[in-house]
Amino acid sequence: MMTQKSLRIGVLMGGSSAEREISLKTGRSICDALKRRGYTVIPIEVDATLSHQIRAKKISVAFLALHGPGGEDGTVQGMLEVMKMPYTGSGVTASAVCMNKGLTRVVLQAAKVPVPPGMTVSGKMIPVRPPPSLGLPVVVKPCAEGSTFGVSIVRKPSQWTEALKEAYRYGEQAVVEKYIPGREIAVGVFGNKVLPGVEIIVPGGFYDFTAKYGKAATRYECPASLSSKLETALRDYSLRAYQALGCRGAARVDFRIHTNGRPYILELNTIPGMTERSLLPMAAAQIGWDYDDLVERILREALPKRMVPSFGKIRSTRSSAS
């Protein structure tokens, strides 16, 4: 019978994307949480030897702490499927589609979930001017990158060419969307459970890499102060997006709420940041799941049923957890 100690959890982190350092922070936090819960944890830095490392270290299940291309885009998930290795989070297709912001837009529009007006520019093309149909300002971002790498706000025509060049540093495609003035809200989803929203309040109004991970005076309000109508809409759109994209396990849906009150989905993250200060753990705490609870729930959701029964219930530190 498999026990917590005999289960060997490989925490996959690092990789070669621009988000490598963030992934390492997430991975270390997850390792610490699993060790506190009594699991056998093997940290694995992802490189070309990944399949060999998994076999050599006799991993039972892979806990993915990867961000960006090469880790969050279905490539590692595909390799794990071939190896018949259980892993956390979304499968190959959902991971690939969610990593591509252009494809995500197509799926969400088909599911009648609101996204900002926009378009995808391919082949590193640089049109002479911003799309007249969108007006200014517009947001220009790489099609397949996270943590706001390569993202620019174009407020005047003279900024257009440089913004596209910056986005193309991260890939062959860019997404151009109408800038939505207003609030930024992140909503976590875990299976059929929608977590409370987190409002991100940035002094400069743009939640870029520095605001996320630097020492900027970014504030977070959790739960976000929302009208009952808006809260219901965000919950509904989050779950519809999660299901339409075929997600599994934990995910995070990022919204902009226009000053007129209308919500728009910017993207869906299939492997949300999971340091102890990240948005998903912040939201989970509001329903009584501390950080270690959340990590263990993500792990258990990935395990085949034959592995789970001998573990018993999650030893939550809060009586309100369920």
Residues annotated as part of the active site = 19, 147, 278
Say if residues 63 and 12 touch (Cβ distance below 8 Å). yes
Strands 138-142 and 174-178, bridge-based pairing: antiparallel
81 labelled as ligand-binding? no
269 labelled as ligand-binding? yes
What is the C-alpha separation between 123 and 300, in angstroms, rounded? 41
How far is CA 41 from each of CA 15, 30, 76, 247, 317, rounded to the nearest angstrom?
18, 9, 19, 25, 21
Tokens for 8?
Answer: 């060997």
How far is CA 156 from each of CA 153, 168, 295, rounded to the nearest angstrom?
9, 19, 44
What is the C-alpha separation between 245 and 293, in angstroms, rounded? 26
Q: Work out the burial of residue 240: count CB atoms within 10 Å of its CB; fewer than 13 is exposed, 13-18 middle, 19 or more buried.
A: middle
100 labelled as ligand-binding? no
Annotated binding site: 254, 267, 269
